[in-house]
Amino acid sequence: MDQFSGSENDILTLAEDCQNRPKLYDWVGGQDEFKQINDTAVTKLKQLSYDVTYETAPGRHEWYYWDRQIERVLEWLPINYVKEERLF
């Protein structure tokens, strides 16, 4: 992890150097082992003047929970997203 921090692959290092500040969306489950890292990253991004939408809900670091959140992400994106009727 020491080699990662401050490297070209470290999102916070990249965020510091980014000239434009895109809007960001982050969701993490309350039981996700990476929740604390997400909390810290979002705090840092907001300190860097990023507009971050950060949501949490019960869940773990698993596809089941991410799948449930993708609809919210699509609604958040600045696109003409139309929720389709589910047949099941």
Q: Does any domain span residue 88?
A: no
Task: Write out pLDDT tens, residues 18-74.
Answer: 888 999 999 999 999 999 999 999 999 999 999 999 999 999 999 999 888 988 898
From CA 71, how far away is CA 88, in angstroms rounded?
16
Query: Count of domains in the chain?
Result: 1
pLDDT computed for residue 24 by the predictor: 95
Q: Does any domain span residue 53?
A: yes
Q: Does any domain span residue 35?
A: yes
Residue 75 has pLDDT above 80, yes or no: yes
From CA 56, how far away is CA 37, in angstroms rounded?
13
Residue 59's domain comprises 20-76
Q: Does any domain span residue 58?
A: yes
- pTM recorded for the entire structure: 0.79
- Using CA atoms, how far residue 21 sits from 3, 54, 62, in Å, is 26, 16, 29
